[in-house]
Amino acid sequence: MSDTPTACILIIGDEILSGRTQDTNIKYMAGRLGQLGIKLKEARVVPDQPEAIVAAVNFCRVLYTYVFTTGGIGPTHDDITTACIARAFGRKVIRHPEAEKKLRAFYKDSLSKGGSDINEARLKMAETPDGAGVTLIENRVTSAPGYRIENVFVMAGIPSIAQAMFEAAVPLLRTGDPVFSGSVDGEVREGDIAADLTALQEKYKNVSLGSYPSVRNDKLCTSIVARSTDKALITAALAEVAEMMRRFGAEPAVTAP
C-alpha cells in the first residue's frame, strides 16, 4: 500500500566496517518493523566521518518515513553522532536538562552502591540538538537516553540498549499492517524450481517470495520464504511451493505464518 510507512536504519561506527564488531541491531529492528507494519527499505553502515553521517542522515530522512541511527552517542571522543545530527538539521548541540537530570540521578545511585560517579565525559551522553521537535527516548538499561528529532531516532549501538530504546520509541511511530512470514525447506536445487517459482510469484503478486539456497549434510537445499500482510495468501503460496518440491523428490518442511 502506498501509505505504508517506511524506514531506514543507519548503523554508525568504524568498528562495524572493520569487522571488529558484528552488528545485530539490523536483525532485531527489521523483525520488529515488520511486525509494526513499517517497511524497512534500506540499511547501511556509515563510518565515523562527519561528512558521511550528515550526508546519509539528510538523504534518508527525506526519502523515508523514519530513520533509525545506532551508535556514536557515548562519552568518548569518537562518539560524534549527536554533533552530526545537529549539523544535518542546522542546529546547535546543547546539554538537555532532562537528560542531564536522569544521568545525575543514575550515577548518584551508582556511587552510593560503590559504582562510578558522574563526570564531564559521561555528561556528554546528555547532549542533543537544540530547538523544537526533540524528544528524549527512554533508556531503562543505563538511563542515558536516546532522542528523536523530527523523523530521525538516535539510539545507542550496544544491542541491549538499542533494543530498549527502540521499544520505548514504538509509541511514537505510525504503524501499518503487520507483515507475516512462513517458509518451505526442502532438499531440492534452487535452479530446478526457479522457473516454476517465477510463475508462482506472478500468481501471488501480494506475496514476496524469497529463495535461499544452502548446503546441509553435503546436500543442496533450498528455503523459500513467503512474506505478506495476508496469512491466507502465504499459506496458499507455501502449499504450492511444497508441491513443487515434491515433484523433484523432496520431502519439504513447512513453517506456517
pLDDT tens for 240-254 read 999 999 999 999 999
- pLDDT band of 161, cuts 50, 70, 90: very high
E-assigned strand segments in 130-179 = 134-137, 146-149, 152-155
The answer on 105 and 124 residing in a single domain is: yes
Residues 34 and 69 occupy one common structural domain: yes
Q: Answer yes or no: is 76 within a domain.
A: yes
Tell me what pLDDT residue 1 has: 41
120, part of any domain = yes
208 and 191 belong to one structural domain: yes
Q: Are residues 139 and 205 in the same domain?
A: no
Domain termination site, one of 172, 199, 216: 172
Please indicate, yes or no, if residue 1 is contained in any of the structural domains.
no
Instruction: Supply the CATH number for residue 228's domain.
Output: 3.30.70.260
The reply to whether 142 and 215 lie within a common domain is no
Whether residue 231 sits in one domain with residue 167: no
* Domain hosting residue 226, numbered range: 180-255
The answer as to whether 125 is a domain residue is yes
Task: Name the pLDDT band for 202 (thresholds 50, 70, 90).
Answer: very high
pLDDT of residue 3: 86
Reported confidence tier of residue 195, pLDDT bands at 50, 70, 90: very high
> Residue 2 — very low, low, confident or very high, per pLDDT cuts 50/70/90?
low
Structural domains counted in the chain: 2
Same domain, 164 and 213: no
**Residue 124 DSSP label:** G
Is residue 222 a contact partner of residue 174, using CB atoms and an 8 Å limit?
no
* Same-domain status, 214 and 247: yes
- Averaged over 155-168, what is the pLDDT? 97
Last residue of a domain, one of 172, 195, 222: 172
Burial pattern 225-243, b for ≥16 Cβ within 10 A else e, equals bbbbbbeebbbebbebbbe
Task: Say which CATH number the domain at 131 has.
Answer: 3.40.980.10
Please, what is the average pLDDT of the chain? Answer: 94
Average pLDDT over residues 12-25: 94
Q: Is residue 220, in this structure, part of any structural domain at all?
A: yes
pLDDT value at 201 more than 70: yes
pLDDT tens digits for range 75-134: 998 899 999 999 999 999 999 999 999 999 999 888 888 888 899 999 999 999 999 989
Q: Which residue among 135, 151, 172 closes a domain?
A: 172
Indicate yes or no: pTM above 0.85.
Answer: yes
Task: Work out the angle at residue 14's Cα, subtended by the Cα atoms of residues 35 and 88, and round it to the nearest 5 degrees.
Answer: 70
**What cell numbers appear for 108 in the block?**
548518584
Do 135 and 218 have their domain in common?
A: no
Same domain, yes or no, for 146 and 214?
A: no
Q: What is the pLDDT of residue 112?
A: 85
Adjacent-strand bridge partners of 136: 147
**Mean pLDDT across the stretch 27-43?**
96
Residue 115 forms part of a structural domain? yes
CA–CA gap between residue 86 and residue 81 (Å, rounded): 9
In this structure, are 63 and 187 located in the same domain?
Answer: no
Residues 36 and 159 in one domain: yes
